[in-house]
Chain A
Amino acid sequence: MKIVVIGGGAAGLGVAGAAKGQDPSVQTVVYTEYEDVAYSPCGIPFVHGKEIESFEKLFLATKEQYVAQGIDVHYETTVESIDTRSRTIKVSGEGEVRYDKLVLATGWNYDTPDIPGAELGGIYHVKNIRAAMEWDRYLDSVESAVVVESGPIAMEMVSALQHRGIKVTLIDPGPWPMAEVIDPDIVEPVRKDWADSGVTLKFGERVTAFRGKDTLTHVSTTFGDVEAQLAVIGSHKVANSALAKAAGIKLGSTGGIAVDPHMRSSDPNVFAAGDCAEIPHGVSNVPLQGLSGSHAYAQGKTAGINAAGGSRVHNPVYVPWGMLAGQWMIGGVSFGETLATALGLPFVTGVADGITRARYYPGVKPIKVKLLADPSSRRLIGAQMVGGEGIKERADFLGIVARTGVTVDTLATMENVYSPAIGALNEPIAMAAQALVAKL
């Protein structure tokens, strides 16, 4: 059997590895238009910020390791089209290539705003690692930069640019950072931290033009001109699903490829995984697209196992997430108040301010937990958190709580680890659940 994978990111290499694991005899060919596969684009801001010493650290494996695993990767090779009837793809420089099963892992693109001057040098879309290496050298010459919209990578770039001593202006049409996902009370410490550390914050404003001769020198905005040698574009991720659409494969309302729980598309011989596909949300059943690298990798493994003749069912997603933003960690699960209000979901909240270690232990940090529950079933439907540490583990835990239907009554009486160096007497999740139960 020959499995062809288009795309060499987390999903694509997840497919190839899982397919080989399911059936070592399958022939697995991966096509990527880039020079590399399977690196962590989310790590790029941390190399720019000098927290990580080199871009080489971001690669998951060497090219030789893929060869040793029997995964045939065709680098810098463009797939031009798909013919699902003849089960062939047309590859630039190779002609027609036949497949038994095809997996689309074509990833995402930035939803780049249509702004005049976008072709100028100095406008940076953080994504490709080779480009990031070039940009890293360019950053040494930059004195001032603008970050356009506050997507997750852009928020990390704000801190990275600051670490490089670059003056940063964040321009976002939203009312607060990541306003489509995060609640204003949760993100407020981050906003204040940025403002206190010298980031110029312009919310509710837009970039109207990029200016310069060949390279960016300043940015025109709805509040005036800003000098900048660099503009980091932090807009939304949109599915790179053009190949699938041209082949007649069905897309969903997100623009991502519609898939079943085996990650199979509308064509029985074509699978899709990662940011080019859409997955239903576990609480609302509304499909989502553009999740994290861990979601892409897990979807890739499901698609790879099934494409190689196995059987694995993927679950709807509850989206535990977390990130570093300035000196804070923020994160959550499923819905915050803003999203739940937008969708019109019935919910009740419980909020608690707690600490991450014993109050007397060095390094103790504050943490705020907000839980959302459905008032009729009393089940958790979302959470948002901000704190100095311990966000990731709580988000992972609350993801399973939402998925398995644990009620807030159970959370309110949960047991918790107490050890001065790693956990406080009162667990903030339990405190927030107690506050929520008191309202029900």
Chain B
Amino acid sequence: MSFFRWLRSNSEHALLSDAQRRMAARYGANPPARPHGLKDRWWRQVFAPVYRFLPWGLRRSTMQAMPGSHRMGWPKPEYLPPGDH
């Protein structure tokens, strides 16, 4: 598994678990299982809160910096004028 796939997989899992916990509290639903193991605790109890603390622009820039299809010249959304980001 490449570094970026590993990073995305772990960060997605941590951020989704954190979001599910918030949704469960909002809607009275079953919460996700508690983190188990040092690795899981780091991702969910350190990474997820730090990510949420960062401004959206920085989070967006970090995601865009990852390699993949999105960096291969795809058209901008139709409602944006050319050159608008």
Which chain B residues lie closer than 8 Å to A258 at the CB level?
67-69, 71-72
Contact in complex: B2, A316 (CB < 8 Å) = no
CB interface residues, A 282-337, toward B, < 8 Å:
282-287, 313, 315-316, 337
The docked-state distance in angstroms from the alpha carbon of A280 to that of B8 is: 15
Interface residues contributed by chain A, number (CB under 8 Å): 49
Distance in Å: Cβ of A240 to nearest Cβ of chain B = 14
Interface majority SS (helix, strand, loop, mixed), chain A: loop
- A-facing residues in B1-44 (Cβ within 8 Å): 1-2, 4-5, 7-8, 12, 15-16, 18-20, 22-24, 27, 29-33
- A208-240 Cβ-contact flags toward B at 8 Å (1 or 0): 000000000000000000000000000000000
**Contacting pair B63 A315 (CB below 8 A):** no
CB-CB under 8 A from B51, the residues of chain A are 344
Interface: A133 (CB within 8 A): no
Most buried by B among A253, A256, A282, A287: A253
B77 within 8 A of A: yes
Measured CB to CB, the closest approach of chain B to A434, in angstroms, equals 21
Chain B residues lying within 8 Å of A404, measured Cβ to Cβ, are 78-79
Any chain B CB within 8 A of the CB of A260?
yes
Q: Are A342 and B18 in contact (CB under 8 A)?
A: yes
Do A342 and B19 touch (CB < 8 A)? yes
B15 to A342, Cβ gap below 8 A? Answer: yes
Q: Is A38 at the interface (CB under 8 A from chain B)?
A: no
Q: Which of A173, A203, A253, A338 contacts B5 (CB 8 A)?
A: A253
Which label, helix, strand, loop or mixed, suits the secondary structure of the B interface?
helix
- In this assembly, does A346 line the interface, its C-beta being within 8 Å of a C-beta of chain B? yes
CB < 8 Å neighbour of A252 from B19, B68, B75: B68
Residues of A within 8 A of B33 (CB): 173, 175, 204
Instruction: Provide the B33-59 mask, 1 if CB < 8 A to any CB of A, else 0.
Output: 100000000000000000110101001
Decide yes or no: A175 and B31 within 8 Å by CB, A258-B67, A342-B15 being known contacts. Answer: yes
B30 to A279, Cβ gap below 8 A?
no
CB of B73 closer than 8 Å to a CB of A: yes
Per-residue CB proximity of A395-435 to B under 8 Å, as 1/0? 00000000111000000000000000000000000000000
Chain A residues with CB under 8 A of B73: 260-261
- Check if A25 is an interface residue, CB within 8 A of chain B: no
Q: How far is the CB of A397 from chain B (nearest CB, A)?
A: 16
| Pairwise interchain contact A175-B70, C-beta atoms closer than 8 A | no
A174-B20, A175-B20 known; A253 and B27 CB under 8 Å? no
| Docked pose: A279 CA to B80 CA in angstroms | 19
Instruction: Give every chain A residue within 8 A of B27 (Cβ-Cβ).
Output: 183-185, 188
- Encoded as 1 (CB less than 8 Å from any B CB) or 0, chain A from 235 to 262 comes to 0000000000000001111111011110
- Residue from B24, B31, B68 in contact with A253 in the complex, judged by beta carbons closer than 8 Å: B68
A285 touches B31 (CB 8 A): no
Taking CB atoms, residues of chain B closer than 8 Å to A54 are none
Q: A282 contacts which chain B residues (CB < 8 A)?
A: 77
5 shortest interchain CB distances as A-B pairs: A405-B79, A252-B68, A184-B29, A342-B19, A341-B19
Residues of B within 8 A of A (CB): 1-2, 4-5, 7-8, 12, 15-16, 18-20, 22-24, 27, 29-33, 51-52, 54, 56, 59, 63-64, 66-75, 77-80
Residues of chain A touching chain B, judged by Cβ–Cβ distance below 8 Å, are 173-176, 179-180, 183-185, 188, 203-204, 250-256, 258-261, 277-280, 282-287, 313, 315-316, 337-339, 341-346, 379, 403-405
